[in-house]
Amino acid sequence: MWEEVRFLVDDYVIAGEKILDLGCGNGRLFEFLRDKKIDYIGIDNSEKLIEIAKKRYPKARFQVADVLNLPFPDNFFDKIYSIAVLHHIPSEEFRLQFLKEARRVLKPGGLLILTVWDLWRKPSFRKKIYKSILLKIIGRSKLDFYDILISGMGMRDFYFHCFRKRGLEDLVKKGKFKIKESGIITVPLKKRKNSNFYIIAEK
């Protein structure tokens, strides 16, 4: 788990809450939640990642599910975490559906706590973004503006939507959330800095 997002858990989680980890992957966020005395559920659409999560954290609850069609009743969770997930969801239509479902299963006054990568900070990614914009303008790309496909690290054509902070805030507001806090998380690395945008939003 990325240590720099720990404050999103330590500053907001309250004992006894029902918490959904939306797009939990291999269960990495649970590392920060395991001692918090909360009712935790992690979901992901990858069966293999859910298998890994169950092996790593056998006492936690994980299940395969679609983030666009959540298998939970209305007003069920106190908080929803979504760490580095939203930028992998293609099209504004699906991103709004993601937010609609998150809002549906949150209790009134519940919080959505999410992060996305800030790919504009990296020069190599900025070149890809500008190229994708040009291809879109001249009609040679079916992707939306600010969408890119990345290959490398064992991945091919891995989809990212390249959010700017204002664009992320506007999307969350369009999803009928009230933004309580937003900001930038800086990730210190030896050679360069990375950053993520984060939002705390209330139903």
What per-residue confidence (pLDDT) applies to 190?
A: 59
Instruction: Give 44-103 pLDDT, tens digit per residue.
Output: 999 999 999 999 999 999 999 999 999 999 999 999 999 999 999 999 999 999 999 999
What per-residue confidence (pLDDT) applies to 29?
A: 95
63-70, long-range: CB < 8 A, 24+ apart: 67/22, 67/23, 67/43, 67/98, 67/101, 68/94, 68/97, 68/98, 68/101, 69/101, 70/20, 70/43, 70/101, 70/102, 70/104, 70/105
Percent of the chain at pLDDT > 90 equals 76
pLDDT category at 151 given cuts 50, 70, 90 is confident
Percent of the chain at pLDDT > 70 equals 96
DSSP reduced 3-state for 98: helix
**Region of poorest pLDDT, from 1-15, 134-148, 182-196:** 182-196
Q: What is the DSSP string of 26-58?
A: TTTTHHHHTTS--EEEEEES-HHHHHHHHHH-T
Instruction: Give 115-142 pLDDT, tens digit per residue.
Output: 999 988 887 788 889 999 898 899 888 8
pLDDT category at 183 given cuts 50, 70, 90 is very high
Encoded tokens for 184: 């930038």
Encoded tokens for 33: 């939640």
Encoded tokens for 159: 């989809």
What average pLDDT does the segment 20-31 reach? 95
What per-residue confidence (pLDDT) applies to 124?
A: 79
pLDDT category at 13 given cuts 50, 70, 90 is very high
Its pTM stands at 0.92
What per-residue confidence (pLDDT) applies to 191?
A: 56
What per-residue confidence (pLDDT) applies to 7?
A: 95
